[in-house]
Amino acid sequence: PVTTSTTSTTSSTVVSTNDGSQQQQGQQRRRPLGHRWAIAADGVDLSGDWELIVTDDFRKEYDRYLERLGQPKLVRSVAIGIIGQTTDQVLQMDQGRSLLIVGKNIRGTWTRTLVSSGTDTTTGAESYKPLRVPIVTADAETVQAESWWENDGTVHVSWLRGVTKYGGGSFESRRYLEENGNVYVCESTFHPNDATKERNTLTWKFRRQQPNK
């Protein structure tokens, strides 16, 4: 399906300064409309080296999350024991159209690139076509990934569809920043294909290894 939208602009005003020079106020900028953007808002950048924040409450939530995915107690115990060694390296490119994520833990490395589609500002096009790209999951499954930005370009949303593990379903992730950009949040939700099963959600929070001042 093709979704339609338009773009808007903000006006700019040239004012004189005390030294007689001129400068522009309100930099002119095209802005996508609608709820789904291909790009991030100005000033929103998820790039960084991030380390997982692990608390006792998080360990309990992680155990429940794995249990609802059908993981046995032994597997959950091992996973909880090594979870503190989890890091994410994120590189946001092309105004947020591409998001390269390298996740690492003691089990290995999971590298994937999420490509966003939605309303844009570079061409002023009034329509877009949702883009799905194949990626390999941490469980070595090839699935279809679809991504975009919501909340006026501040929240990155991605869906991994075609998952066969855990009874089949889709993974949704919502990524955004908190605490002046020093905390990176990923709300992960598994949506089962079986309508009789409930959604399974876990919120991951990562601390920037080199905090912003």
pLDDT of residue 4: 38
SS3 call for 10: strand
Task: Give the up-direction half-sphere exposure of residue 10: CA atoms within 13 A in the CB hemisphere.
Answer: 10
What residues have CB less than 8 Å from 123, skipping those under 6 apart? none
pLDDT of residue 140: 93
pLDDT of residue 27: 55
Averages of pLDDT over each 10 residues, the chain, 213 residues = 41 41 49 88 97 97 96 95 95 97 94 95 71 95 97 97 97 98 98 95 96 73
pLDDT of residue 29: 58
pLDDT of residue 31: 81
Angle in degrees, CA 111, 174, 179, rounded to 5? 100
